[in-house]
Homo-oligomer: A and B are copies of this chain.
C-alpha cells in the first residue's frame, strides 16, 4: 500500500500501471495481480488503507469525552498523523484528492469512493450522537453537522493543494469552531457540571 502511494504520487491515477507498483516493491507485476485482480480491487484496498491511517490512528479510548474525540478527529483529518518515512500528510492528501477528482470517470471507482467517504463522515456522526446521548451536546441533526464538518475539511485541504493557500487548514479549523461546534454546546450541561463540581 505504501508502494501504491508512492507510485500514484509519481505517475498519477490515469497513468498508473500495476507494473509501477511492482517496481516500487521490487517484485513482479504478476505478484501484485496475485493479490489484486484489477486496478479497482487495488484502489478499493488502497482507500481502505488511507481511511485506516487517518481514522484508525486517532488517539481515543472509551473514556475520551465527545468534545475531545471530535477535536482529535478533525485535527487528524486536517493536519494528519505523524508519518515516519518522510512521505508525509500533504503528499498523501495530494494523492487522495487526485483520486477523488478522477472518481467521476469510472462508476465502480465512484462507488468505492462513496463508501469510503461515508465511513469518514460516519465516524463524525457517531461521536456527535454519543455527545447528544451524554447530554454534552444539544439535540442536533448529527448527519447534517457531520457532513458540514467533513466538507469544510475537504475543501480546506483542496485549497491548500490546488491553490497553494497554506493557511486554509487553520482557517477551516477556526470556521468549524465558530460556526459548527459552537452550535453543539448544550448550555444546560455546562450549568449541571458547574453545579456538581461545587
- Work out how many copies of this chain go into the complex: 2
- Whether the Cβ atoms of A162 and B110 lie closer than 8 Å is yes
Given contacts A98-B101, A151-B155, A164-B104, contact A144 B178 (CB under 8 A): yes
Which residues from B are CB-within-8-Å of A103? 162-163
- Dominant SS at the A interface? helix
A117 within 8 Å of B by Cβ?
yes
- Whether the Cβ atoms of B175 and A148 lie closer than 8 Å is yes
- Whether the Cβ atoms of A113 and B163 lie closer than 8 Å is yes
A interface residues, Cβ below 8 angstroms from B: 94, 97-98, 100-104, 110, 113-114, 117, 144, 147-148, 151-152, 154-156, 158-159, 161-165, 171-172, 174-175, 178-180, 183
